[in-house]
Structures are given as structure tokens and as C-alpha cells.
Structure 1
Amino acid sequence: MNSVNERGFENWKKNIILFLGSQTISLFGSALVQYAMMWYVTLTTESGIMMTLFIICGFIPTFILSPFAGVWADRYNRKTLIIISDGLIASATLILAIVFFMGYDAVWLIFLMAAIRAIGTGIQTPAVGAILPQIVPKDRLTKVNGINGSLQAIIMFVAPIVSAALLSMSSLEVIFFIDVITAMIAIFTLLGFLKIAQHQKAVNQQPTSYFNDFKQGITYIQNHHFLKQLFLFFGVFFVLMAPAAFLTPLQVTRSFGDDVWRLTAIEIAFSIGMMAGGGIIASWGGFKNKIHTMTLASLLMGLCTLALGVVPIFWLYLIFMAVFGIAMPIFNTPTTVLLQEKVDESYLGRIFGVFGMISTSMMPLGMLIFGPMADVIKVEWLLVGTGIFIFILSLFLGGNKVLLESGKPVVEEPAKLGNIT
């Protein structure tokens, strides 16, 4: 009996290593492209409106697809959906790389690329969020999500350095070609080596339509008060996060200088913080109540947002950016684990789909408000104002009785094995 359990544990470790490894490789190429495109728009236009358009193009397709993608993630093989999304992005990137190589390098093509990548992200995000509980026992979810956050932070640390170096030595299309290669490596790994337990709903014949499946997901949220409260919090939170998330490169360009190394430095500082935060949450695990951990992290993010708006010295700015990075995985990890633990597996894709709709719609809505404002009001004032509101919102999160009840630890159940596909 012990040898059987041992083999199952070894398979679990092998699968998670392959999965996180393939996603890390894919993320590296995507990060190179994302930084290069963002800096291209920032340095070429120095416009808050143009940055807003870039952000909208990168989020609206994800928002539109999220309700469909959430249903797909519950109805079909989640590994296959991840492969399809990576393939779509790789194909589009290859075409755009060729177009750029031929000399067509207009800014609107960058917007188009951002939209196509958002379509792939819209398909992939619910599938990735829902697939981890198929591989990882519940008592390891916090640790694995924390490790995944650290891996992503390492990529975010390396990617801006490599991207800046490539931009200074070559052209944007070279980075596009690298992204195609990393995507193909990830697809080959998933296809050839990764075996994941198929979730039960995908195994069974689907008795209802897509629309009914989505309606069932909405009904599930309506019947679980903690989900309604949590999603309401995130709706407001993501609007307030827009200036800190998207306008800081514009702020640095205007207030400290338009050197590429400065834009690289803030991303590196943030990534170093995320690496540290991922390590902290993976080893610590957070408070017993996940809402307490989320509250601590969101309070930190509110204070850092305010500080980014008032510090006059660039190295101090980098310190607060690093602290912001530390808070991010300490906030994101318990959020993800809370959904993975509390939501029925057959509804996970749809719940992550709705969560994706909220995150991808509220951020652009925030940019619709704050982006044009950034052309008439200093970004510093926007950061101060939103920082204060994030801090206040965090106090409401920590005092919400419904969410505090949902954040309590769950009683662990033995891991169940499914059909391997």
C-alpha cells in the first residue's frame, strides 16, 4: 500500500514540475513581448491616452471571452485548452514578427498584437486556475501556488533585463520570434510528457448547453454569499489598482527621465519583491484565516501606492516598488487557494472565468477614468488618491464577517485520482 501511495506522490511531483516548467518557459517569451510592446508605446508616444488604448486592447478580448472560456474549462480537457491558447498566441506572434520584419511597424499593430494575446489569455486563464487542484492535494495548494508565484517573479526579474538588452541591440520582431520558440517548447512539453487527471465533468457527456452551463455558474455564485462579497471587493479593488499597475512607467518617464534603464529598474525592483513575497508565502503559508493574509497584503499595497505618489527620489521609489512586489503574491496566493478550496471542482472553470471577467473589465474601466486624467493631472496625485482608497477598502475586507468565515481553514480530504489523459 505504501509503495502505491509513493508512486502516486512521485507522479504528482513529476506532473507539477512539468506543468510549472512549461508555463514558466511560455511566460518568459510572453513577458519579453509584453515589456517590449509596453515600452515601445510609452517611449514612442509618452501619452496617457495611448497607454490607455494599449491596456484596453490587452484586456477587452479577455473580458469578452471569459464567460465562454470558463464554461470550456469545465466542459473540456483543460490541458488541451492551454495548448490551444499557446498555439494561437504563437501563430499570431509569428505572423506579426514577419510583418514587422518587412518594415510595417505602426503602433496600431502593437494594439492588434495586444488584443490577439488577450484572446489566448482569456482561453488559458480559467483553465490554468482550475487545473492545479487536479494535480495538487489541497494541503499543498498554498505552497505550490507560492512557488508558482516565485517562478513568475523570477521571470519578471529576468525578462525586463533581457527585453531591454534585446531592444538596444536589435528590433522588436526579434523578441517576437523568441516568443514563438518558447511557446512551441511549452506546447511540446504539455503534449509529449504531461499526464493530468481528467476532471469528472469533462469525462461525462454534457447534458446542457453552453449558456445553461454559464447560468449554472452564476447561480452557484448567487448561492454562495462569500463569492458575491469577494467579487464585489475585487471589482472596486481592480479599479483602484489601475494607476499603480499601468501609469507608473508613464510617471517615471515624466518625473525621473525617459531612459529605458529606469523603466527596467522599476520592473526589476517589483520582480525582486515578488520573488521574496512568493518565497515568504510558500514557506510561511499565511495566517490560518486567508482573509487576514489578504488584508495584510492589500494594506501594504495601499500604503505603497500612496508612497509612490509622494517620494521625490528614484531609489526610494524603487524600494516602495519592491515592497509592493512583496505584497502581491502574499495577496494573490491565498485568493487563488481560497477559490480552489471552497469552489466545487466542476464549477472551478466558470468561477475563474467570472473572476477573469471582473479583473479584465475593472482594470480597463479604471484606465478609462485615470488614463485621460493622467494627461491633465499629475500621476502622483492619482497614486495618492487611489492609495488612500485602497487602504480604506482593505479595512472593510478585514472586517467582513462573511469573508472571514470563508477564509477559515478547510478540513483536508484524501486526494482523489481521476482518469489520466
Structure 2
Amino acid sequence: MSTAEAQTPGEQPADTAPADEMPGWKRNVTVFLTGQTVSLLGSMLVQFAVMWHLTIVTGSGAVLMFSIVFGMLPQAFVSIFGGVWADRHSRKLLIIGADTSIAVITLALALLMLSGVDDLWVIYAALAVRSTFAGIQTPAVSAMLPQIVPTSQLIRINGINQTIQSGMMLLAPVLAAAIYASFDIVAVFFVDVVTALIGVGLLLLVTVPRLVRSDAEERPSYFGDLAAGVRYIAGHGPVKWLMTIFAVAMVLIGAPSYLTPLMVRRTFGDEVWKLTANELFWAAGMLLAGLLMAVIGPRIRNRIALIMGAVTAAGALTTGLGLSTNMWVFFGIGFLVSATFALMSAPSVTILQETVEPEMLGRVFGFVGIVMTVAMPLSMVVFGPLADVYSVESLLVVAGLLLVAFVAVVFMVPSARRSLAAISRPAAEPADGAPAEV
């Protein structure tokens, strides 16, 4: 029996749960998302606590830079291989293994710091290991959702998931600050261990259909799988163009969003409440837009129009950020920019989950993880130094105009129009005409 066909406890053959008849899927999804939410909360607590701890203890920009490098780049690298593993092995077990490993590493870090070992290399090493296992977990989570969610409900569940993540962005800083101020960073680490184990325990209760690969008998090599994933993305028009649009949007929205606190400080004042209000408006925009997708997502019939409209609006609104002279107008526009990200993200993920063959989903989402992880550092490498030379306002205007221009160019490319048109409608309502460009 090949690895792809190995059945793990709590799994059942995929053909017993077709997309339109998944008994108990609501219970499975509820338990799964609850566990992932609890685990995500712990991870975000550590993220904020480490950032504040390094800032308070060292006051060094270089130290913060290294923490970002160690905390993000391993995930980008491992996502390539994590995607292959998600297509070759049980996605459920991969998630359990990754979460458990992160808990063990975090516990070890907490015990080391309790014993007096608090050198920077210890924190860097822990961040790198956590990031490594996140590169295994993230593509497995995205690829597993279509196995437990009916196709017609994917966009709703992705909207709910987006809402949960946005809600954590509001809750985690407050909770992390309370724990860190009342105790210390070690207490935050212990909380993360507990939340990770809760997530693992809940996932054990989820029944996941077994994934049977169409090429199981051929048993391709590991690197053959990896190469097949690269060829698939490069040769599949709809997937290639969707990922390109997502990547460019992330680069041109990502860094400007991180530069907005700098603009608030330079233009409107450096009071803490103003910086906090800026963050809350951005988080609230994503949260409410995620809720909107959860409610109306299944009724949307032209998802590409929504995605391209959201990207265009993001560009125009980013330009508006740079032109804002009133602080509350600036906050309001930031709210709308973050909302466009949710309106773009949930349908994009859903289209990939519906369009890509189940046995390729892990690899595709592995590369999506690379885009998500690398886009921000790459964008900051470009826009960060420029912010010390030019005004943030001018950079926001340029980034917004570039994004609008990019959308116009995409619409002028015939192959892009054909590819995107082929995936504009939900899977349950295939578009008329030629099949997707492959």
C-alpha cells in the first residue's frame, strides 16, 4: 500500500463522503476550526510577546530584523516541501505532528528561560523551529479543508476562517499585553503550549476522508512530486494567473500597510492611542469583510469580478491613504483597504480549493504559503528604506497607482482573461464555453 493510500485512525475512504453528501461535516468543521483558533491564539500571543520582549530588552532594530528573518524565512523555505508532504501523507497527522512539535519546542524554550538561559540565540532558534513546522502545518490545513467541507460551502467556511484570524488580530495583542505585564514572557510560552495541545486534542476528534491519489500505483519520487507541482502551477493558466495577482497585490499592499503607523507618527502625532486606533481600524476591516464573505459568499456568482474589483479598490484606496490629510479619514480608508484584502483572499483560496485536483492541493498551497511569507519581507526591503528618503504619503500613492496599473495590464493579456473567465463561477455552476486553460 502506498503512502498516499495509508489510512490513519479517524479517517475514512474519500468516496464515502462526496462533496454534496457529507454527513456530520458541520460538526467536523466546527471542531476543526475551534481547535485551529485556539492554537492560532497561542501562536499570536508568542508573536506579540517576543516582539515586545526584544524591543524592551534590547531596543535594537537589528535584533527585531533578525527575529523577523528567523520567524518567517524558514516557513517560506519549508512550505515547498510541506506542500509535497501534504499530498503524500495524512494531512491530519501532519497538522497534529507540527502543532505537537511547536508545543515541545516552546516548552523547551520556557524551561531554558526559567533556568536563566535567555540569550538571543535561544529565542532565534525557537522562532526558526516554530516557523519550520508552520511551513508544514499551513499547506496541510488549507489542503485538508476541501476534504471535510462540501464544495458549495467552501467560500463560507473560508470567510469564517478569515473572520476568526482577524478577530485574533484584535484579541491577541490585548491578551498578550495583559499576560506579559502581569507575569513575564515565560508565562506566554506556557499558555502557547496549552493552546497547542488543545488544538491537537480537538483535531483528533475530526473525521477526515482518506485521500486516494490518481497516480498512487506509479509511486512518483519525492522530487518527482515537487517537480510535478511546479509544472502544474506553471502550466495551469487559471492557477498561475490567480497566484500572480495574489502575489503582486500582497507586495503592493503589504509594506504600505506596515508603513501606516509611521505615517500616523509623522503626520498626525505619536500618541499611543493614535497608533493603536490605526491597528484596530485595519483589523476591524478584515474582520467585518470576512463576516460578509461568510454570509453572502455562497451567493456570489462571479468570483473573479469580486477579486479583481477588490484588488483595484485596494490600489485606489491605498492611493487615497497617501492623499489623506485628516486622521479619521485616514483611519476610515485603512479600514476599507484591509476589507478589500479579505474580499480578495477568501474567494481566491476557495477557487484554488475547487479548481486544483485534491492530490495537488498540498503542493499548490505550499507555494501560496511562500507567496504569503516572502511578499512582506520583499515588500519591506523595497519600501522600508525608501520611507527614510521619501515621505510615506508619496510611497502609498505610488504603490496604489502601481496596483491599479497592474490590474489594467492583466485585463489586456488575452490568456489572462481566458484563464480567469474559466474559474469565475463556483464549481457547482461551471461557466459556459471552453474548459480552463491548462
Q: Would you call these one fold, judging by a TM-score over 0.5?
A: yes
Cα deviation per residue 1:236-282 (whole Å; 9 max; x = unaligned)?
A: 33322331343444555565566655554333322222221011112
Cα deviation per residue 1:341-383 (whole Å; 9 max; x = unaligned)?
A: 1111111111111222233233322222223333444444333
Q: Which residue of 2 aligns with 1:211?
A: 223
- Secondary structure at the aligned position of 1:83 is classed as helix
The 8 Å contact of residues 93 and 113 in structure 1, kept in 2 or not, is answered as: yes
What is the CA RMSD across the aligned residues, in angstroms? 3.0
Q: Which residue of 2 aligns with 1:196?
A: 208
Q: Which residue of 2 aligns with 1:416?
A: none
The 8 Å contact of residues 252 and 262 in structure 1, kept in 2 or not, is answered as: yes
The 8 Å contact of residues 61 and 122 in structure 1, kept in 2 or not, is answered as: yes
Q: Which residue of 1 aligns with 2:434?
A: none
Does 2:401 align with 1:401?
no
Alignment of 1:21-36 (within 5 A): 21-36=34-49
The 8 Å contact of residues 42 and 250 in structure 1, kept in 2 or not, is answered as: no
| Aligned length in residues | 408
Alignment of 1:14-413 (within 5 A): 14-41=27-54, 51-105=64-118, 109-191=122-204, 193-201=205-213, 204=216, 207-252=219-264, 261-285=273-297, 287-397=300-410, 400-412=416-428
| Aligned-partner Cα distance in 2 for 1:51–1:307 | 30
| Aligned-partner Cα distance in 2 for 1:353–1:212 | 15
| Aligned-partner Cα distance in 1 for 2:265–2:114 | 28
The 8 Å contact of residues 143 and 282 in structure 1, kept in 2 or not, is answered as: yes
The 8 Å contact of residues 160 and 268 in structure 1, kept in 2 or not, is answered as: no
The 8 Å contact of residues 302 and 387 in structure 1, kept in 2 or not, is answered as: yes
- Secondary structure at the aligned position of 1:200 is classed as coil
Residue range with higher mean Cα deviation, 404-413 or 79-88: 404-413
Q: Which residue of 2 aligns with 1:418?
A: none
Does 2:25 align with 1:12?
yes
Residues 1:35 and 1:382: Cα distance change in structure 2 (over 3 Å)? farther
The 8 Å contact of residues 133 and 141 in structure 1, kept in 2 or not, is answered as: yes
| Aligned-partner Cα distance in 2 for 1:46–1:380 | 27
Residues 1:227 and 1:160: Cα distance change in structure 2 (over 3 Å)? same
The 8 Å contact of residues 32 and 160 in structure 1, kept in 2 or not, is answered as: yes
One-letter identity of the residue aligned with 2:351: L
Residues 1:159 and 1:411: Cα distance change in structure 2 (over 3 Å)? closer
| Aligned-partner Cα distance in 2 for 1:307–1:38 | 30
Residues 1:368 and 1:104: Cα distance change in structure 2 (over 3 Å)? farther
Offset of 1:283 from its aligned partner? 1.6
| Aligned-partner Cα distance in 1 for 2:423–2:234 | 18
Offset of 1:401 from its aligned partner? 0.6
- After TM superposition, the score normalised by the length of structure 1 is 0.86
| Aligned-partner Cα distance in 1 for 2:50–2:271 | 16
Cα deviation per residue 1:389-414 (whole Å; 9 max; x = unaligned)?
A: 1232234456641343133224439x
- Secondary structure at the aligned position of 1:201 is classed as coil
The 8 Å contact of residues 355 and 423 in structure 2, kept in 1 or not, is answered as: no
Could you tell me which runs of 5 or more consecutive residues in structure 1 were left unpaired when the two chains were aligned: 414-421
One-letter identity of the residue aligned with 1:186: G
One-letter identity of the residue aligned with 1:265: A
